[in-house]
Amino acid sequence: MHPFNATQPPRLAILLGYAGLIPFISGAIGIWITPTAWRADVLTALLHYAAVILAFMGAIHWGLAMARERQDDAAHRQLGLSVLPALLGWLAISSGLPALLALALLISGFIGLYLADVHAVKLELAPRWYTALRKPLTAVVLISLLAAWLGVLVH
């Protein structure tokens, strides 16, 4: 069976995907429980990790577009749009935005990326199993970033 036709994600992709959630979850919890003197460092680490992962996830679309045998309009669009997550992540951490706006930008980026992931699967630009993997991972990322956002707002 061609890997694009599989409906279940590969086991390694599942394990690595869930392991990648550890910094999101620990960062969100850290915003709430870390002593005040360290809270800014925890937030900075979470923002930077989120920006890196956003860029990494966008790069998957770059790779998928490059791997296509037929370089049609859909592949070109996917290739072009694949750089947006990296730019959003960079903007969130390098522009001096207040933490609440940086978190909101990252949240928006992950929502947009998930929608692009679903669209890519529908167009058969990504494996059928990709949505099954991305949905729970994106949910945990968004919950973590929202918890951090709320923690910044409250503290």
Using H for helix, E for strand and C for coil, what is the string for 87-117? HHHHHHHHCCCCHHHHHHHHHHHHHHHHHHH
Is 3 contained in some domain? no
User: Residue 94: inside a domain, yes or no?
Assistant: yes
Is residue 84 one of the residues assigned to a domain?
Answer: yes
In the prediction, which pLDDT does 1 show?
A: 52
Q: Give the pLDDT means over successive 10-residue stretches in the chain (155 positions).
A: 77 98 98 96 98 98 88 87 96 97 98 96 93 97 98 94
Structural domain total, the chain:
1
Tell the residue number behind the tokens 């998928």, with chain if given. 64
147 in any annotated domain: yes
Per the structure, the complete domain to which residue 113 belongs is given by: 11-154
Give the list of residues 6+ apart from residue 19 with CB closer than 8 angstroms, or none.
none
Q: Which pLDDT belongs to residue 71?
A: 83
Asked whether residue 80 is assigned to any structural domain, the reply reads: yes
- How much is the pLDDT for 2? 58
In a domain, 123, yes or no: yes
Which is it for the CA torsion 81, 82, 83, 85, positive or negative? positive
15-54 as b/e, with b when 16 or more CB fall inside 10 Å? eeeeebbebbeebbebbeebeeeebeebbeebbebbbebb
* pTM for this entry: 0.94
Domain annotation covers residue 1: no
In a domain, 141, yes or no: yes
